[in-house]
Chains A and B, each alone.
Chain A
Amino acid sequence: MTSIATLPSAKMCSYHGTIRLFVQVLWAHLLCGWASGSELTFELPDNAKQCFYEDITVGTKCTLEFQVVTGGHYDVDCRLEDVDGTVLYKEMKKQYDSFTFTAAKNGTYKFCFSNEFSTFTHKTVYFDFQVGEDPPLFPNENRVTALTQMESACVSIHEALKSVIDYQTHFRLREGQGRSRAEDLNTRVAFWSIGEAFILLVVSISQVVLLRSFFSDRKTTMTRVGS
Chain B
Amino acid sequence: CIVHTGRTLLRTTTTTIKMRSCVLSVLLLNVYYTCVSSLYFHIGETEKKCFIEEIPDETMIIGNYRTQLYDKQKEEYLPATQGLGMFVEVKDPDEKVILSRQYGSEGRFTFTSHTPGEHRICLHSNSSKFALFAGGMLRVHLDIQVGEHTNNYAEIAAKDKLTELQLRVRQLVEQVDQIQKEQNYQRYREERFRQTSESTNQRVLWWSIVQTLILVAIGFWQMKHLKSFFEAKKLV
Give me 30 A-to-B residue pairs in the complex whose CB atoms sit less than 8 angstroms apart, sorted by A's number.
A13-B13, A14-B17, A25-B24, A28-B154, A29-B28, A36-B143, A41-B51, A41-B53, A42-B49, A42-B50, A51-B42, A53-B40, A54-B40, A129-B39, A151-B164, A154-B165, A155-B168, A158-B171, A161-B176, A165-B175, A165-B178, A165-B182, A168-B182, A168-B183, A172-B182, A178-B193, A179-B189, A182-B200, A197-B207, A211-B226
Q: Does A40 contact B (CB under 8 A)?
A: yes
Which residues in A have some Cβ–Cβ distance to B below 8 Å?
A: 2-3, 6-7, 9-11, 13-14, 16-18, 20-22, 25-26, 28-29, 32-33, 36, 38-43, 50-55, 124, 129, 137-138, 148, 150-151, 154-155, 157-158, 161-162, 164-165, 168, 171-172, 175-176, 178-179, 182-183, 185-186, 189-190, 193-194, 196-197, 200-201, 204, 207-208, 211-212, 215, 219, 222
User: Are A175 and B196 in touch, CB under 8 angstroms?
Assistant: no
In the bound assembly, the distance between CA atoms of A215 and B8 in angstroms comes to 116
User: Are A154 and B1 in touch, CB under 8 angstroms?
Assistant: no
In the complex formed, the residue of B with least CB distance to A198 is B214
Query: Which of A3, A11, A52 contacts B39, CB < 8 Å?
Result: A52
Given contacts A55-B38, A193-B207, is CB(A182)–CB(B182) below 8 Å?
Answer: no
In the bound assembly, the distance between CA atoms of A200 and B213 in angstroms comes to 11
* Interface residues in B, total, Cβ within 8 A: 75
A179 to chain B, nearest CB (A): 5
Give the number of A-B contacts (CB < 8 Å).
Answer: 192
